[in-house]
Amino acid sequence: MIQSYGSNGLFHKAALLMREMLSVGFSPSQAAMINMLKAVTDAAALEMGQQIHALLVKSRELSLEDVRLSTALIDMYVRCGSMDEAINVFDHANERNAASWTAMIAGNGMDLRIALSTALLEMYLKCGDANSARSLFDEMPERDVMCWTVMISGYSQANFFNEAFELFGQMKDLGIRPNGIMMVNLLFLCAEAGALDRGRQLHAIIDQQGIKMDVVLATALVDMYAKCGEMEEAFKAFNGANDADVCMWNALLNGMAMNGDGREAIELFSEMVAAGIKPNEITFVGLLKACSHSGLVEEGRRFFERMSIEFGLVPRVEHYGCIVDLHSRAGLLDEAHEIIRKMPVSPNVVIWGSLIAACRVHGNLKLGEIAAREILKLEPENVGYRVLLSNIYAAQGRWDEVAEVRTRVKAGGRKKAPAMSSIEVNGAIHGFVIGDASHPQAEEIHAMAAEMQRELKRAGHVTNTSVVLLNVEEEEEKASSLCFHSEKLAMAFGLISTKPRSPLRIVKNLRICEDCHAATKLLSEIYGRVIVVRDRNRYHHFSGGSCSCGDYW
């Protein structure tokens, strides 16, 4: 009926029928929405088109990730003369086809050569071929802001931090004004790298350039500050935003979880519900993680029950992973194992991994072996958890078992992903692996790492050599290997490259080891520095000889 009214020029009847459909509780299908957008386009009814756009954003059944819907919306905005909104939809589209490009070219007066080159650029980047994309980009005789957006966003999504910002700098030098989608991608990159200084610069550019702060950009800003450990700034960005949606609340909540602010996360959740925001599955992942990192076992149990009873959400494997982690961290290993056995969904490697990691911390070899067997059933070639099992054996001095596990690892021909740490200095990201000698300043860095070890010894630090996985008989040799862990090398580089008393911010891809954690507490006092480390699980704020985690991580 909607299609028939629309195709016969009876726009108002189509609109009334759409409203009636919604009022009786029916969710429009993709076809209904596309036909309604066509009717709106023919009638040039921009206001009605904007209402349909809002409906699509809020819909649980439909998504603008559907290329047919996004293209119909772009075409409506173009033909209604609202190019800014058309560009916004086009920029945020996950997929673009010939029709969406044609609509933009027709409406925007885009040069066909630039449009075709930009489409090819996007194709290379989506196929993971950044080199070919950059070669094409460099050869383009003319580039518009769309070209720069595609190239910089592609670098961001590939996690090429330095390359993305080098290109962004070139664009600024040419006087090209960035758009919102470019800033969202760059903020995402800063969030992943923990690059607070760059993130602050982007925030300043957004304000200076008067870039429209829509809910997506505001959420990216909150997420960046939260993931960089600056919760005060995250709250400022949150409070300054209009119409915070569930995604923005979730960004703040997940930031609190990463920083171990369990009680504060619970208070925020109560405020969120009181504000009329309905929590979703991601909300409860963040909330349960916050409880886990703060040792709030009873609170976590209650929230796990509330998500289904009070909010009608069915727990997924991620939520069971959080509740297993909650019990495992608290040393309630038998309870954690019982939860895994009774789960209505099949446990994955992450869930068993939480248990085996806790078994290592709490010295439960029997349960650790059970978890390891289950992991290897799911992923026979998984090297990381074999090494973790060998760590449990090594901590107990069972070197025969360590050797057996290592032999199996070598026989499989695979290696565990190396621990990597990075630090932002002068706007660039510098990465390190254990014993790294590839950095241009490697000699100075290693000299500083050796000095740090001497200062630690002078301060009475006793190296925890149980975390070294090799059967090295000489304690001195074990201690020496710990001296060059990736986070200590990043720290050493930070100490020689930044002003005294300035904070150091380090990101590590794995969990920080016990010795590095204890050593960093002392180093924060010895050098008078705030040292912030984000490991795979959470943030650690070291200052004056103590850590924000309270040694619970």
What is the per-residue pLDDT across 116-157, written as a single tens digit (0 to 9) for each? 667 777 778 878 888 888 988 888 878 888 889 889 988 998
Look at strands 420-425 and 504-508 and give their pairing: antiparallel
Tokens of 367: 């349960």
pLDDT digits (tens, 9 = 90+) for 151-190: 998 899 888 999 999 999 999 999 999 988 899 999 999 9
Tokens of 530: 């705030």
Q: Mean per-residue pLDDT for 67-77?
A: 79
Residue identified by tokens 């069915």 is 314
Indicate if the pLDDT at residue 469 is higher than 50: no
The Cα–Cα gap between 508 and 511 comes to: 7
pLDDT at res. 473: 42
Residue 328 sits at φ, ψ, to 5 deg, of -65, -45
pLDDT at res. 2: 81
Say if CB 215 and CB 231 are below 8 A apart: no
Which of 492, 475, 550 is CA-nearest to residue 517? Answer: 550
The Cα–Cα gap between 374 and 345 comes to: 15
Question: Mean pLDDT highest for which of 12-21, 122-131, 497-506?
Answer: 497-506
Q: Where are the domains of the chain?
A: 420-547
Q: Mean per-residue pLDDT for 451-460?
A: 93
Q: Is 432 helix (H, G, I), strand (E, B) or coil?
A: strand
How far, in Å, are 12, 69, 344, 434 from residue 37 at the CA level? 13, 9, 42, 57
For the beta carbon of residue 533, count every other beta carbon within 10 angstroms.
27
pLDDT-derived band at 478 (thresholds 50, 70, 90) equals: very low
Residues 6+ apart with CB under 8 A from 210: none
Indicate if the pLDDT at residue 476 is higher than 50: no
Q: Mean per-residue pLDDT for 328-338?
A: 95
The Cα–Cα gap between 399 and 472 comes to: 10
pLDDT at res. 218: 95
pLDDT digits (tens, 9 = 90+) for 420-444: 999 999 888 999 998 778 899 999 9
Between helices 383-395 and 365-378, what is the axis angle to 10°?
Answer: 170
Q: Is 547 helix (H, G, I), strand (E, B) or coil?
A: strand
pLDDT-derived band at 1 (thresholds 50, 70, 90) equals: confident
Q: Mean per-residue pLDDT for 83-98?
A: 69
Greatest alpha-carbon span in the chain: 88
How far, in Å, are 150, 225, 241 from residue 219 at the CA level? 21, 10, 9
Least confident of 22-26, 185-189, 401-405, 549-553: 401-405
The Cα–Cα gap between 267 and 261 comes to: 10
The Cα–Cα gap between 360 and 364 comes to: 7
The Cα–Cα gap between 520 and 116 comes to: 52
pLDDT-derived band at 102 (thresholds 50, 70, 90) equals: low
Indicate if the pLDDT at residue 111 is higher than 60: no
Tell me which H or E stretch contains 163: helix 161-173
pLDDT at res. 98: 59
CB environment 315-338: b (16+ within 10 A), e (fewer): beebbbbbbbbbbbbbebbebbbe
The Cα–Cα gap between 209 and 229 comes to: 26
Residues of the chain with pLDDT > 70, as a percent, come to: 87
For the four alpha carbons of 266, 270, 271 and 273, in that order, the dihedral sign comes to positive
pLDDT digits (tens, 9 = 90+) for 224-274: 999 999 999 999 999 999 888 999 999 999 999 999 899 999 999 999 999
Q: Is 97 helix (H, G, I), strand (E, B) or coil?
A: coil
DSSP classification of residue 316:
-
pLDDT digits (tens, 9 = 90+) for 399-420: 777 777 777 666 665 555 678 9
Indicate if the pLDDT at residue 475 is higher than 50: no
> Can you give the pTM of this predicted structure?
0.76
Look at strands 531-534 and 504-508 and give their pairing: parallel
Residue identified by tokens 């950044």 is 130
Q: When comparing pLDDT for 100 and 458, which is higher?
A: 458
pLDDT-derived band at 51 (thresholds 50, 70, 90) equals: confident
DSSP classification of residue 229:
T
Indicate if the pLDDT at residue 350 is higher than 60: yes
pLDDT at res. 399: 75
Say if CB 180 and CB 152 are below 8 A apart: no
Say if CB 194 and CB 227 are below 8 A apart: yes
